[in-house]
Amino acid sequence: MQVIVTGHHLEITDALKENIDAKFAKLARHFDNVTDVHVILSVEKLIQKAEATLQISGAKLFAEDHQEDMYVAIDNMVDKLDRQITKHKEKTGSHR
């Protein structure tokens, strides 16, 4: 799994990068077929925005979240992606 992190109006620190890697490692445990992850972190005035596009076998998933704290936005975004992955897993695995 390749994780690409970019920042708009924000410098990506080592702590942010390590936090994102840890969160997506947890997602990779739930579903093995994650091939590519692109995370965009941005700041607009007082709003911190985190969005991610996840390329898995058979689908492309997208989630975003806006918060006042970047770490909370990342946590919420990963939770949304986790729900989407489990839903995708149920859809593909539910055939007889």
Q: Report if pTM > 0.85.
A: yes
Q: What is the pLDDT of residue 96?
A: 59
What does the alpha-carbon distance between residue 50 and residue 59 come to, in Å, rounded to a whole number?
Answer: 20
Q: What is the pLDDT of residue 65?
A: 96
Q: What is the pLDDT of residue 27?
A: 83
Q: What is the pLDDT of residue 51?
A: 96
Q: Is the pLDDT confidence value at 31 over 80?
A: no
Structure tokens belonging to residue 45: 């005035």
Domains of the chain in sequence order:
2-93 (3.30.160.100)
5: Cα separation from own chain's centroid: 10
Q: Let me know if 69 is exposed, middle or buried by CB neighbors in 10 A (0-12, 13-18, 19+).
A: exposed
SS3 of 51, please?
strand
Closest CA to 46 of 89, 9, 92: 9
User: Greatest CA span in the chain, whole angstroms?
Assistant: 51
- The more confidently predicted of residues 41 and 34 is 41
